[in-house]
Amino acid sequence: MKKLIFRKILKDIFYFFLLVALSVSLIVWVFQAVNFLDIVSEDGHSLAIYFKYTLLNLPKIFSRILVFIFFVSIFYVLLKYENNNELIVFWSNGVTKRKFVNNIVLFSFMFLILQISFTSFFVPVSQDKARSYIRASNIDFFPSLIKEKKFIDTVSNLTIFIEEKNKNGTLERIFLREDINNTKSQTIYAKRGEIITVNSKTYIKLHDGKIINADNNKVDTFSFKETEIDLSKYKTKTTTYPKIQEQSTADLLKCLLYDYNKKILNSSKIEGKKIFKNLEENLESCTYNNMKVFFAEFFKRIYMPLFIPLLALTSSLLVLRSKDDFRYNIFKNIIFLIGIFFIVFSEITVRYFGVDMKNNIFFLFLPLILFVLIYSSIFIFGYRKFNK
């Protein structure tokens, strides 16, 4: 009987969590997808790239809201059970409040594993995959971005200005400037032109113009009747290099192990150099100056999920008082505020992770310390009647 009633309440928590988490994730995803429209409107990528990129952001959104939704799910279901007098079934079947809380906490470990799986694997992989679509994409929508009397700098190192754009697609009085490097540039003027696509490559075909090549103080000018410029060779301004959040947890761990095991690596200088070289090839920003960022990202993926059992314990403390208690409303509000405080606290403290290993270890054990303090104060040193 005890197993059946526990199975029912745990199912209710899980189904409520799943419904709310998916609903909130989709709502957030829609708003975020709107913000990502500049991938098409400003950067010239295709709609297919846009949808792939935005869809791959769903795991990140889900992982960001998981902890909060989990806390709210337990809190809501327990309130519902208390208001419907369904918790009496547990007490009448010999379930102590301590055992009830223990089962809720054990149930939370499933979400702990789920969250660590998302933060350590699914999110970095999906984010890197999304970035790979941007890296491999050409500027398919570039022709549609061309506007009259507007400077277009969608691609890197190239600026285009069109005086007039006819309905048939012909461009009038065209100005192009390419910054080749710090000292070298090329400026092109043309009376007219058009944008053409050949074999998935985009070109701008120019007629009757001049090309001005500038290199320091040296300037060369020559005229042309017709010329073509391959726009596909230019890279988009969209960020294409991997960000820290997109690096795999294994690569982050390698960097951290390298940083903390220099003495071991230095015992074999050749081996140490080989390992560091391989890390740099796989993770370009794996440098000493970025170690604080790497520590913060690595421990954040592990640290945030550790608050899930603490939040499960906090929300399950609702069973310590009955709705018939005149202080019940105040008590449930306090429990909710404590849970929100822990969530905010976890977001704030994650910023303090860095290269100081002592601080990192302290913060990692902080959720466990808080859990033990709350659990022991309630069920060991106080409220002894709830053990019966």
Residue pLDDT, tens place only, 39-70? 655 555 667 777 888 888 899 999 999 999 99
Given 217, 233, 249, the domain boundary residue is: 233
Given 197, 214, 233, the domain boundary residue is: 233
Same-domain check for residues 94 and 170 = no
Count of domains forming the chain = 2
Asked if residue 281 has pLDDT above 50, the reply is no
Q: Is 325 part of a structural domain of the chain?
A: yes
Q: Is 240 part of a structural domain of the chain?
A: no
Same-domain check for residues 203 and 315 = no
Asked if residue 329 has pLDDT above 60, the reply is yes
The region, left, alpha or beta by phi > 0 then psi within -120 to 50, assigned to residue 35 is alpha
State pLDDT tens for residues 248-277. Answer: 777 777 776 766 554 444 444 444 445 444
Strands (E), the chain: 151-152, 158-165, 171-179, 184-198, 201-215, 218-230
Asked if residue 154 has pLDDT above 90, the reply is no
Residue 129: its pLDDT value, please? Answer: 83
Same-domain check for residues 160 and 222 = yes
Asked if residue 347 has pLDDT above 80, the reply is yes
Higher-pLDDT residue of 265 and 172 is 172
Residue 268: its pLDDT value, please? Answer: 46
Q: Is 277 part of a structural domain of the chain?
A: no
Residue 271: its pLDDT value, please? Answer: 47
Given 233, 252, 275, the domain boundary residue is: 233
Q: Among the residues of 36-122, which ranges form H helices?
A: 38-41, 47-55, 58-83, 88-92, 97-117
Same-domain check for residues 149 and 100 = no
Asked if residue 238 has pLDDT above 60, the reply is no
Higher-pLDDT residue of 356 and 276 is 356
Residue 273: its pLDDT value, please? Answer: 47
Same-domain check for residues 12 and 76 = yes
Same-domain check for residues 175 and 89 = no
Asked if residue 316 has pLDDT above 80, the reply is yes
Q: Is 51 part of a structural domain of the chain?
A: yes
Same-domain check for residues 323 and 210 = no
Mean pLDDT, range 100-119, rounded to an integer? 93
Mean pLDDT, range 191-199, rounded to an integer? 78
Mean pLDDT, range 282-308, rounded to an integer? 71
Q: Is 249 part of a structural domain of the chain?
A: no
Q: Is 250 part of a structural domain of the chain?
A: no
Identity of the highest mean pLDDT range in 168-182, 185-199, 297-311: 297-311
Task: Specify the residue for token string 């999920």.
Answer: 305
Same-domain check for residues 162 and 108 = no
Please state which of the ranges 144-158, 222-236, 290-304, 321-335 shows the lowest mean pLDDT: 144-158
Same-domain check for residues 162 and 129 = no
Same-domain check for residues 132 and 161 = no
Identify the domain containing residue 186 by its residue range.
142-233
Identity of the highest mean pLDDT range in 210-219, 233-242, 350-359: 210-219
Same-domain check for residues 222 and 175 = yes
Residue 357: its pLDDT value, please? Answer: 72
Q: Is 212 part of a structural domain of the chain?
A: yes
Q: Does residue 44 contact residue 141 with C-beta atoms inside 8 Å?
A: yes
Q: Is 261 part of a structural domain of the chain?
A: no
Share above pLDDT 70 across residues of the chain, in percent, rounded to a whole number: 75
Q: How far is CA 133 from CA 35, 126, 153, 221, 241, in A?
A: 18, 11, 21, 39, 12
Asked if residue 285 has pLDDT above 60, the reply is no
Same-domain check for residues 106 and 204 = no
